[in-house]
């Protein structure tokens, strides 16, 4: 088990609270008077989702889906697998996908493809963190909490080997403490298969 010495604070809790409130106001202003279906990609986004929707004063339906691309101590994404799909009927409804982090873009692209196939009236995305990195998949979320460097981060719902989700802030997991997924014999962070 890793110690607190293995992480370095990056975004403080107070700044997160401030930014989530800003995002909530922006989303609410873009959906005046209409019902919004919010679909959260579990499990990293659950804390962000809870804070975000509690700050919005519009009619909201909440659903979740579970996708996985990293397991165990893996730090590199591999094949995407759907573990749980959402149940809400989104046809002709305004939909917001909430995810914790935009990394390679594969997870969000796959979710958008599947939800978009159900013909919602509108489909937007909100990510808590967006990594500054080259992506093979072009994807531009309408709402972004923070842009960060391409580091492995934990806290505020994000984990490493199941730990650190309960940290109230975002921290960088120091490179010396990351273990190779190949050495551990694990697969990398996965969700469903992209084309």
Q: Is residue 148 within 8 Å of 173, Cβ to Cβ?
A: no
- List the helix and strand counts (H, then E) for the chain: 4, 9
Provide the annotated active-site residues: 103
Strands (E), 12-109: 36-42, 60-68, 81-84, 94-102
Cα–Cα distance measured from residue 11 to residue 16, given in angstroms and rounded to the nearest whole number: 7
What span, in angstroms and rounded, lies between the C-alpha atoms of 48 and 24?
11
Point out which residues pair with 158 in neighbouring strands: 155
- Mention every residue, 6+ apart, whose C-beta is less than 8 A from residue 61: 35, 36, 37, 38, 88
């Amino acid at each position: 088990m890793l110690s607190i010495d293995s992480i370095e604070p990056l975004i403080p809790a107070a700044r997160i609270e401030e930014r989530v409130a800003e995002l909530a106001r922006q989303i609410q202003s873009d959906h005046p008077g209409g019902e919004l279906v919010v679909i959260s990609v579990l499990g990293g986004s659950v804390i962000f989702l809870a804070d975000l929707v509690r700050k919005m004063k519009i009619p909201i339906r909440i659903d979740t889906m579970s996708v996985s691309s990293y397991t165990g101590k893996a730090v590199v994404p591999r094949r995407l697998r759907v573990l749980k799909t959402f149940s809400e009927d989104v046809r002709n409804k305004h939909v917001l996908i909430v995810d914790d982090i935009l990394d390679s873009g594969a997870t969000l692209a796959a979710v958008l493809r599947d939800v978009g196939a159900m013909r919602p009236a509108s489909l937007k995305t909100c990510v808590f963190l967006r990594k500054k990195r080259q992506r093979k998949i072009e994807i531009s979320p309408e709402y972004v909490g923070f842009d960060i460097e391409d580091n492995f981060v934990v806290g505020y719902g994000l984990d490493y080997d199941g730990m650190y989700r309960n940290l109230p802030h975002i921290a960088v997991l120091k490179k010396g403490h990351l273990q190779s997924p190949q050495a551990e014999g694990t697969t990398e962070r996965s969700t469903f298969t992209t084309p």
